[in-house]
A = this chain, B = another copy of it.
Amino acid sequence: MKVAFQGIRGAYSEMALHDHFGKTVETVGCESFDDVFDLVNSGAVTYGFIPVENTIAGTVVENYDLLFANDVLVIAEVYLPIRHTLLAKKGARLESIKDALSHPHALKQCKAYLKLKNIRMVPTYDTAGAAKAVASGDRMNCAAIASELCAEIYDMEILEHNIQTNSSNTTRFFVIAKKENIPADHVTGKTTVAFKTRHYPGALVDCLKIFQKYSLNLTKLESRPIPETPWEYVFYAAFEAGIDSDEVKSAIGELTLHALFVKLLGSYPKAEKCW
């Protein structure tokens, strides 16, 4: 089975992917999130694996927009605590490290540690790419900030675990699939929908009242402006019940009466680990 993710080998997405599917699955790194959706759509991979929210950076709106634009469904949610690791070439020693390569976000999250150790920050395009560059280079005083998985993939020395300042940094991922690739034994306990409201004050409340009527607890609600059409918004909502329940079916049915349109983004089991 093949699963696509955005990034190169050792990206945090790949680490979360292994947590969910196990180590034996074949992973396919893509340049962009678009490419992940394309591979799922074309059938080149069975599943796609995409980040959708992070406790520090917030919602990955690009992926919600792609879910909205594509004919795929969310079939699972996965949470990964982001633990940044300081990696270097085999035999390197922490005391000798002068430079740390990584994506600006990761550098920022580890700023306090790097300052303490007097290590200079060197920005790169992504975290796993930084690890690969350090591993293939010849500098013993140069490290990368990336996932622990990179140590294994690029045969590197782990100099320090958990060097991030904020310990509650967690990313939520979605597994996406074409309808025909949803497993037969698929169970659902959570549902995510997108809908667009009509143009009058309180239109959103009229939509949300339906969720209340059926006692559906919202766990996420976010408005997203539509750049091409000022003052129009798509809302992304998640609630704790599966599409198989009568309440959810009735609620979505009623929602289509009040909203301009409703799109089911997916229904999936509630993850055990979460924030």
Contact = CB atoms under 8 A, between A and B. Distances in A.
Dominant SS among interface residues on chain A: mixed
B225 A223 contact: no
User: Most B CB atoms within 10 A — which of A62, A201, A219, A221?
Assistant: A201
A70 interface: no
A222 interface: yes
Given A56-B61, A228-B168, A208 B215 contact: no
Contacts of A141: none
Interface string A156-198: 0000000000001010000000000000000000000000000
A140 interface: no
A74 B30 CA distance: 41
B202 A170 contact: no
Interface stretch (A13-21, A88-96, A119-127, A256-264): A119-127
Contact of A274 (B208, B213, B230): B230
Given A62-B56, A227-B275, A212 B221 contact: no
A221 B204 contact: yes
Nearest to A125: B123
Interface residues on A, range: 35 or more
Given A123-B125, A170-B227, A227-B275, 8 more contacts: A56-B61, A57-B61, A103-B104, A204-B221, A205-B205, A205-B212, A220-B223, A230-B274
A225 B275 contact: yes
20 contacts: A56-B61, A58-B61, A58-B224, A59-B59, A59-B222, A103-B104, A104-B125, A107-B125, A123-B123, A123-B124, A168-B227, A168-B228, A201-B217, A201-B218, A202-B212, A218-B223, A219-B223, A221-B235, A225-B275, A230-B275
